[in-house]
Structure 1
Amino acid sequence: MRKSIGLLAGVAAIALTSTTVQSQEAVGIVLNWTPGADHAPIYYAKQQGWYEEAGINLTIDAGSGSAMSAQSVGVGKHAIGIAELGTAFVARSMGADVVAVMSLYAQAPFAFYWKKSSGIETVADFAGHTIGNPPADAARVMWPAFAEAAGLAVDSVSFVNVTPQAKVATLAADQVDIISDFYNGHDLKVETFGDDLGFVRWSELGLNPYGNSFIVNADFLENNRDTVAAFVRVTQRAYSECVANIDPCIDALTESASGLERGEMNKHWTRVKELMADEFTTTEALGYLDADRVAQTYELVETYFDIQTPFDPADAFTSEFLDTNLKMVAP
């Protein structure tokens, strides 16, 4: 009798395990770029088994820019992705039906950098100088907005084509006078140029569109709301945990992605935390997307990008899956 009971228990355990495995939803996320400090919480949550516990078998793929990740999510190749929100809006207007469900960079990450020894002290001195960045760089496309906010003529600068990897070296070699870059890489410029470094964040001039955000394929969201809700809850929890203690998160990142230097990742994370915090993420919920700021981001994009098919930005985001008990800590 005991053997029969034991056998039945074993069969039940195997059946339960089989059911658990089968219940795992295969979900792919594509990053906006190669893995970095801003992605560490995702790797940490995966390492801890949090996605698996929530019924998600998550695969993480490196990206090659927000445009690519938005397109991939838009066509359903990936269910979830990370993309700069303005770029995601452009993609949506071109048929990529994506919906933002959580902000990563609540603050605009755009910044301009220069060497003070070039004669530039403030933004007012940009006129007559060269700016190095790729042709499709968001900072170049939205230059008219920056120029207007800074009181500069749109044609007061010249642009030079520079690859993302060559920006700092090109500035150091005096081949350009100014470069654009994301603020999360700020410390490399500080280390390279020291007291000679000048910079301005776009947000300082009142240009503060949402930056990188988590986006979801709209069809996937409609048919898998529970899965999306679970993903957002786990991801929000992971970012909250990593804000409190980044060490295990950087461990998980460097164990999963090769070629990353721990010290640099810690510096990047410090800047990421600054970008994650705004008046809404610190009072409403970590990752919160505010309707008015989303509308302002859309308005900026509509003005300076090619919006092929206009849409209501209210239909392109939701904060409903966020846990309001988890709030961002002000830096």
Structure 2
Amino acid sequence: MKFRMSVLALAVLASAGVAHANEQVSFLLNWVAGGDHAPYYYAQKMGWYKDAGIDLTLLQGKGSVVAAQAAAAGVDTFGLADMATIMVAIGKGGDAVAVMDVYANYPGGFYWLKSSGIKSVKDLAGKKIGNPPGDAARALWPALAKANGIDPNSVTWVNLSPNAKLAALKAGTVDAVTEFYNLHHVYKNTLGANMGYLAWKDAGVNPYGNAIAVNGAYLKAHRATVAAFVKVTQKAFAACVTKPDPCIQALVEANSGLQAKDQLVNWQEVEQLMSDKTSQTQGLGWFDPNRMQDTYNLVKQYVGLDKPFDVSKYYTNEFLDKSIKMKVVPMTP
């Protein structure tokens, strides 16, 4: 399937709409800059945000919770966060609207050693699973356990910092860990042929993953700016899918300590998370209403919402260009 975007469409930002000149916008990432953030740095380097009237400040993140709360409270204009976390922030009274999906596939998965004998979710019963306390995987685990016919209480959760999970798994301190797929190459390089892996999406639970949310009040007052930001960002993602090397170079130039080779692999894994039927047919970054409702229901039942809300009022596809579609990218086992 060919990527449906011309070079001309990439360069002509007038079609994206233009904000008032030098409109100051802050965008808080979900984490420290990595391959998954390359499109934002590429668009900034190329001057696309500036050409659209946006003076963009990219901010390093400290997790989805912080980014979602910052956007919901208006501390920052935009935030990049897990969709479930954005919903929790809205349920707490936050004012945020999701304007572009990034991870069409839920990025979470389980990693284990094949030598342990684990082959499926059912085999995790009686085992120790390592991940950070408060991690979304723990909250969503009951849904995955139910989908696979096992008791959610049959596993023991072990508190581990994000950087300690792989070492603990390799040492046998835990039997399995949860991890996002854009670190798949790190586990594969370390564990080799002994790596066991299962994506949550293939085990019956596939809520939306990372998405870009804007402060709701800002959206109402600055609709042209939001429209320009989304369209530039969507085109930047399209450009990076078509030709990733310049995007990775822009990322590395803006963030010391990153290695282009490593971040390129990270980006290639992100492409796999971006590709699903909706992004391939409706548009890159598109939210499917049924899946958004399913994600909301999952969050409401298993994560919990302080106050229920109509999810249809807290996301929109109106700023996305339907002519920009994602290519088919099969996930690497």
Q: TM-score range by the shorter chain?
A: over 0.9
Indicate which of 53, 56, 66 corresponds to 2:54. 56
Instruction: Give SS of 1:81's match.
Output: strand
- How is 1:23-38 mapped onto 2 (pairs within 5 angstroms)? 23-38=21-36
Output the amino acid matched with 1:129. Answer: K
**How far apart are 1:22 and its partner, in Å?**
8.1
Indicate which of 302, 310, 313 corresponds to 2:311. 313
Correspondence for 1:144: 142
**How far apart are 1:123 and its partner, in Å?**
2.1
Stretches (4+) displaced over 3 A: none
Task: Provide TM-score, normalisation by structure 2.
Answer: 0.92
Correspondence for 1:157: 155
Per-residue Cα deviation, 1:37-82 (whole angstroms, up to 9, x for no partner) = 1110000000000000000000000111111001111111110110
CA spacing shift, 1:298–1:42, aligned 2, 3 Å: same
**How far apart are 1:261 and its partner, in Å?**
1.7
Indicate which of 251, 266, 289 corresponds to 2:287. 289
Correspondence for 2:112: 114
**How far apart are 1:87 and its partner, in Å?**
0.5
Correspondence for 2:100: 102
**How far apart are 1:229 and its partner, in Å?**
0.2
**How far apart are 1:128 and its partner, in Å?**
1.0
What is the CA–CA distance in structure 2 between the aligned matches of 1:84 and 1:47, rounded to whole Å? 26
- How is 1:95-244 mapped onto 2 (pairs within 5 angstroms)? 95-244=93-242
**How far apart are 1:96 and its partner, in Å?**
1.3
Preserved CA contact (<8 Å) 2:280 2:325:
yes
Output the amino acid matched with 1:25. Answer: E
Instruction: Give SS of 1:114's match.
Output: strand
**How far apart are 1:122 and its partner, in Å?**
2.4
**How far apart are 1:297 and its partner, in Å?**
0.4
Greater shift, 148-157 or 307-316, is seen at 148-157
Per-residue Cα deviation, 1:115-165 (whole angstroms, up to 9, x for no partner) = 011221222211111000011111111110111112211111100000011
Correspondence for 2:89: 91
Correspondence for 1:76: 74
Greater shift, 99-108 or 147-156, is seen at 147-156
Instruction: Give SS of 1:282's match.
Output: helix
Correspondence for 1:66: 64
Output the amino acid matched with 1:206. Answer: G
CA spacing shift, 1:225–1:188, aligned 2, 3 Å: same
Instruction: Give SS of 1:190's match.
Output: helix
Instruction: Give SS of 1:107's match.
Output: coil
Correspondence for 1:13: none
What is the CA–CA distance in structure 2 between the aligned matches of 1:142 and 1:324, rounded to whole Å? 32
**1:251 and 2:249 correspond:** yes
What is the CA–CA distance in structure 1 between the aligned matches of 2:167 and 2:90, rounded to whole Å? 35
Indicate which of 287, 296, 299 corresponds to 2:297. 299
What is the CA–CA distance in structure 2 between the aligned matches of 1:309 and 1:34, rounded to whole Å? 31
What is the CA–CA distance in structure 1 between the aligned matches of 2:142 and 2:20, rounded to whole Å? 52
What is the CA–CA distance in structure 2 between the aligned matches of 1:39 and 1:272, rounded to whole Å? 10
Per-residue Cα deviation, 1:177-205 (whole angstroms, up to 9, x for no partner) = 10001011101111111111111101002
Which 5+ residue runs of structure 2 have no aligned equivalent? 1-17
Correspondence for 1:278: 276
What is the CA–CA distance in structure 1 between the aligned matches of 2:145 and 2:304, rounded to whole Å? 19
Output the amino acid matched with 2:315. Answer: F
Instruction: Give SS of 1:86's match.
Output: helix
What is the CA–CA distance in structure 2 between the aligned matches of 1:148 and 1:192, rounded to whole Å? 31
**How far apart are 1:266 and its partner, in Å?**
1.1
* Aligned Cα root-mean-square deviation (Å): 1.3
Per-residue Cα deviation, 1:13-48 (whole angstroms, up to 9, x for no partner) = xxxxxxx99821000000000101111000000000
CA spacing shift, 1:203–1:56, aligned 2, 3 Å: same
CA spacing shift, 1:153–1:230, aligned 2, 3 Å: same
Preserved CA contact (<8 Å) 2:121 2:145:
no
Which 5+ residue runs of structure 1 have no aligned equivalent? 1-19
Greater shift, 255-264 or 55-64, is seen at 255-264
- Report the identity percentage: 46
Instruction: Give SS of 1:155's match.
Output: helix
Task: Provide TM-score, normalisation by structure 1.
Answer: 0.92
Preserved CA contact (<8 Å) 2:41 2:251:
yes
Output the amino acid matched with 2:316. Answer: T
**How far apart are 1:268 and its partner, in Å?**
0.9
What is the CA–CA distance in structure 2 between the aligned matches of 1:246 and 1:22, rounded to whole Å? 30
